[in-house]
Amino acid sequence: MFFRILAKERIPELVSGLSADYEVVGPVAKTQEAFVLAEIEDPKDLELDHTSTLLPPKKWFFPPRERLMRFRAEDAEVLDDSVDAPDRVLFGLHACDVNGLLLMDNVFGGTYDDPYYCARRDRTLIVGISCKQAGKGCTCNAWGTDEAHWGFDIFLTDLGDEYFVSVGTVKGAELLDRHVVTREVTDADVAVTRPYQGRRRMTLTFPSINRSRRVLWLVTGREKAGALARLCDSDPSIPASGVRQDVALILAERAAAEQLGASENLEMRK
């Protein structure tokens, strides 16, 4: 697996390129709050900020109706038993969908494989995308399916104006290189790790932190009281001033908050 950075504005370019060789299926809006997986005719129809789709991607592997074979009634000779399995890309599946397909692989692609399922699975590429916000009925975090570590060709993680791209297969790498321009990952995109006081320390860069939906400060100890007061006063001279305040929440024990004003609450002022 390797990683790249893809600008969001290039998604239509990628989808158009894939459409030349594949049937591209992705989430589209059925209503303002309901989404379905459908064939993408125009990249503008693709809704990658969706919560979940009304139905899972299962029907693209097990259609509700299909022809299993053609045979001659007189002597029962099979004339055609080929599987209708077009080259397809499922674009915009969430991690829970990817994990669901892996479970289906265990059942229908195991010891006693289903030839119809396997034919469609082999001819389908998966482009996953991180879920920005769980829907009202989602339980993925309870079942540990809110992350996907394999089972995809390409996986997109939202970084704001860009996507962090995890490339899981050779085919995914080929399609990415053929259809869209990406750039290398730099320290500004991810955490950097370097020795500190004899230990290995991982540090998130400001761009990484500021792409978060929520930043939580946990402040403990009386020795941090001065720094916390300066943080709440938006002191530009401290490193913490580089972190967005509009999405931040401070949790501080009483000793650390002793220099805050009497009317100061522990939620970052906006």
pLDDT in the model for residue 267: 47
pLDDT in the model for residue 143: 81
- By mean pLDDT, which of 40-49, 132-141, 174-183, 233-242 is the weakest? 132-141
Task: Give, in order, the Cα–Cα distances in Å from 52 to each of 13, 35, 128, 269.
Answer: 24, 7, 13, 33
User: What is the pLDDT averaged over residues 82-97?
Assistant: 93
- pTM over the 0.85 mark: no
User: What is the pLDDT averaged over residues 213-218?
Assistant: 88
Helix (H) or strand (E) holding 78: strand 77-80
pLDDT in the model for residue 160: 81
Amino acid letter for position 21: D
Q: pLDDT-derived band of residue 261, with 50, 70 and 90 as boundaries?
A: low
Nearest CA among 166, 151, 77 for reference residue 121: 151
Sequence-ordered alpha helix ranges (H) in 74-114: 95-108
Question: Which residue is it, tokens 């499922």?
Answer: 90
Interval 50-65: pLDDT, tens: 888 989 999 999 988 8
Residues 6+ apart with CB under 8 A from 28: 35, 36, 37, 38, 40, 45, 46, 47
Round to the nearest angstrom and report the end-to-end CA distance of the chain: 40
Domain extent listing, the chain:
2-179, 214-270
Interval 4-49: pLDDT, tens: 999 999 999 999 999 999 999 999 998 878 899 999 999 999 999 8
Task: Give, in order, the Cα–Cα distances in Å from 200 to each of 187, 206, 207.
Answer: 16, 19, 21
Please provide residue 88's backbone torsions phi and psi, each rounded to the nearest 5 degrees. Answer: -140, 150
Distance CA 26, CA 35 (A): 10
pLDDT in the model for residue 268: 43
Question: Which residue is it, tokens 């540090």?
Answer: 203
pLDDT above 70 for 197: no
Task: Give, in order, the Cα–Cα distances in Å from 54 to each of 45, 58, 137, 142, 156.
Answer: 17, 12, 11, 20, 21
pLDDT above 70 for 193: no
Distance CA 129, CA 89 (A): 13
pLDDT in the model for residue 263: 44
Question: Which residue is it, tokens 């600008």?
Answer: 7
Distance CA 3, CA 13 (A): 19
User: In the numeric block, which tokens belong to residue 142?
Assistant: 């309870």
Distance CA 24, CA 88 (A): 6
Strand partners, 5: 164, 183
Q: pLDDT-derived band of residue 78, with 50, 70 and 90 as boundaries?
A: confident
Q: 194 with 225: CB under 8 angstroms? A: no
Decide which of 114 and 264 is more confident: 114
pLDDT in the model for residue 161: 87
pLDDT in the model for residue 23: 96
Distance CA 161, CA 93 (A): 19
